[in-house]
Chain A
């Protein structure tokens, strides 16, 4: 059975489509990377999937479960299956540790379980020793890693990443990429990752989707998209010739 499915999903803001008629399917454990120029609709697509906004039309199906027209309570349950690291993450005005605990506290776990999961997540993103720091004193890259740890601590089955390494230096990019890859391979977490970094999209993605002006132009294996694209707009974009 297909693990995750999006069918003819569209979102309109005023008269403009932010995304239009997007359809794709993912197997459990698949790593899907999304590329496309700024304004293509990557963030919008991820926001609709995480049920932060309702689609204008179209359907989302998670593990055989339609995510359309859910009750408030069901939406919370569905969101707790997923994790979303935003393009511009925001920390609560508390310590790093309290930030990472947040999602677990919401789920009502025992303090022992919380401590264990928080420790693991903080170590995964290389923030050991930052536990008691106030979030307001963190650098941009540190905030991004706290946000990632906060999401990973909740152990989502579908991980949505929006430019999750954009603010990081190369060694931290490698650390985070490894951490995400490990979760994907060892725990079978399905990942959808929007990125502006072609190398990252290629390195991590089992499959890659190219978006342009709200539409999904082409989906294929990483090899196919980067070495042998079938649409000339894809080719123009990855060769850097597309002017936008």
Chain B
């Protein structure tokens, strides 16, 4: 019990004294997961709209594929990205292994199917509901797409939040491709793994608390967007 309290006190001290290592790790996590999620949204929203609205044959297979990719274990993604960018891999010449860029790539692969899948489901249901109304009022095909995107925006935003949540809390992929190098590729989750193993509970708890607060904030932002979406036209 004493150990826990001492660690907690140390954790709070690290957080509120703005310890540079703790904050550096947090900023790296945010940068990596934020960039990965942004890129995932850029690819996943158009892809999800295309799959949801434009593909008529093989819907079942597409659903299965997207669901499979949504559930890929991060370690497996890490493994494949590692093989691709390690020195002897096909993209080894880029020298990306053990860099934040490698971590972004891995999390982008993790997050894209999530955004795609949720967008696909959302636009399909909105299309089913509003297609006739929109086109009978004179919508052209691309005006219909804009209308669908507007009506589905809350669900799509939810998808982006889920993807970010998955990315920032994931360990396996960034551990493999980032290497958990201090002051370079050490993110919150990988740091927690290492420090727990070394008995440095103070810093582990500090990072854990920050992770929880971030998860809470993402949820809060999402809820606010949702309510805003209801109020604003």
Q: Are A92's CB and B147's CB within 8 A? A: yes
Residue of A52, A76, A98 near B140 (CB, 8 A) is: A76
Q: Are B137's CB and A106's CB within 8 A? A: yes
Q: Please give me the residue from chain A that is nearest to B232 by CB atom.
A: A94
Q: Collect the chain A residues with CB atoms within 8 Å of residue B138's CB.
A: 76, 79-80, 103, 106-107, 154
Q: Please give me the residue from chain B that is nearest to A75 by CB atom.
A: B135
Q: A90-B130, A92-B130, A93-B151 are in contact. Are A151 and B137 (CB under 8 A)?
A: yes
Chain A 86-115 interface 0/1 with B at a Cβ cutoff of 8 Å (1 = within)? 100110111101100011001100000000
The reply on A50 being an interface residue by CB < 8 A is yes
Q: Collect the chain B residues with CB atoms within 8 Å of residue A95's CB.
A: 233
Q: Are A73's CB and B136's CB within 8 A? A: no
The reply on A5 being an interface residue by CB < 8 A is no
For A, the interface residue count at a CB cutoff of 8 angstroms equals 29
Q: Are A90's CB and B133's CB within 8 A? A: yes
Q: How far is the CB of B78 from chain A (nearest CB, A)?
A: 40
Query: Which B residues, 110 to 164, have Cβ-Cβ distances below 8 Å to chain A?
Result: 129-130, 132-141, 143, 147, 151
Q: Collect the chain B residues with CB atoms within 8 Å of residue A72's CB.
A: 140-141
Question: Complex: how many Å from CA A131 to CA B106?
Answer: 48
Q: Collect the chain B residues with CB atoms within 8 Å of residue A196's CB.
A: none
- Choose among B129, B133, B151 the residue with the greatest number of A CB atoms under 10 Å from its CB: B133
The reply on A84 being an interface residue by CB < 8 A is yes
Q: Collect the chain A residues with CB atoms within 8 Å of residue B141's CB.
A: 72
Query: Which A residues, 70 to 84, have Cβ-Cβ distances below 8 Å to chain B?
Result: 72-73, 76, 79-80, 82-84
Q: Are B136's CB and A52's CB within 8 A? A: yes
Q: Please give me the residue from chain B that is nearest to A135 by CB atom.
A: B233
Question: Complex: how many Å from CA A72 to CA B141?
Answer: 8
Interface size class of B (residues with CB under 8 A): 10 to 19
Q: Please give me the residue from chain A that is nearest to B132 by CB atom.
A: A52
Q: Collect the chain B residues with CB atoms within 8 Å of residue A106's CB.
A: 137-140, 143
Q: Collect the chain A residues with CB atoms within 8 Å of residue B137's CB.
A: 83, 102-103, 106, 150-151, 154
Q: Are A134's CB and B133's CB within 8 A? A: no
Q: How far is the CB of B92 from chain A (nearest CB, A)?
A: 48
Question: Complex: how many Å from CA A136 to CA B133?
Answer: 16
Q: Please give me the residue from chain B that is nearest to A106 by CB atom.
A: B138
Question: Complex: how many Å from CA A150 to CA B133?
Answer: 10
Q: Are B140's CB and A73's CB within 8 A? A: yes
Q: Collect the chain B residues with CB atoms within 8 Å of residue A107's CB.
A: 138
Question: Complex: how many Å from CA A136 to CA B129?
Answer: 14
Q: Collect the chain B residues with CB atoms within 8 Å of residue A150's CB.
A: 137
Q: A76-B140, A79-B138, A154-B138 are in contact. Are A98 and B133 (CB under 8 A)?
A: no
Q: Collect the chain A residues with CB atoms within 8 Å of residue B151's CB.
A: 92-93
Question: Complex: how many Å from CA A52 to CA B137?
Answer: 11
Q: How far is the CB of B192 from chain A (nearest CB, A)?
A: 41
Q: Are B133's CB and A79's CB within 8 A? A: no
Q: Collect the chain B residues with CB atoms within 8 Å of residue A136's CB.
A: 230
Question: Complex: how many Å from CA A72 to CA B230?
Answer: 33
Chain A 105-127 interface 0/1 with B at a Cβ cutoff of 8 Å (1 = within)? 01100000000000000000000
Question: Complex: how many Å from CA A151 to CA B137?
Answer: 7
Q: A72-B141, A95-B233, A134-B230 are in contact. Are A90 and B136 (CB under 8 A)?
A: no
Q: Please give me the residue from chain B that is nearest to A80 by CB atom.
A: B138
Q: Collect the chain B residues with CB atoms within 8 Å of residue A79's CB.
A: 135-136, 138
Q: How far is the CB of B181 from chain A (nearest CB, A)?
A: 48
Q: Please give me the residue from chain B that is nearest to A76 by CB atom.
A: B140
Question: Complex: how many Å from CA A95 to CA B231?
Answer: 9
Q: Are A89's CB and B133's CB within 8 A? A: yes
Question: Complex: how many Å from CA A84 to CA B233?
Answer: 24
Q: Which 8 pairs across A and B sit closest by C-beta, in order of nearness?
A: A103-B137, A94-B233, A80-B138, A84-B136, A98-B233, A95-B233, A76-B140, A106-B138
User: Can you report 12 A-B residue pairs in the complex whose CB atoms are below 8 A from each other?
Assistant: A50-B136, A76-B139, A83-B137, A90-B130, A92-B151, A93-B230, A95-B233, A97-B233, A102-B134, A106-B143, A136-B230, A154-B137
Residues of B participating in the A interface, judged by any CB pair closer than 8 Å: 129-130, 132-141, 143, 147, 151, 230-231, 233
Residues of A participating in the B interface, judged by any CB pair closer than 8 Å: 47, 50, 52, 72-73, 76, 79-80, 82-84, 86, 89-90, 92-95, 97-98, 102-103, 106-107, 134, 136, 150-151, 154
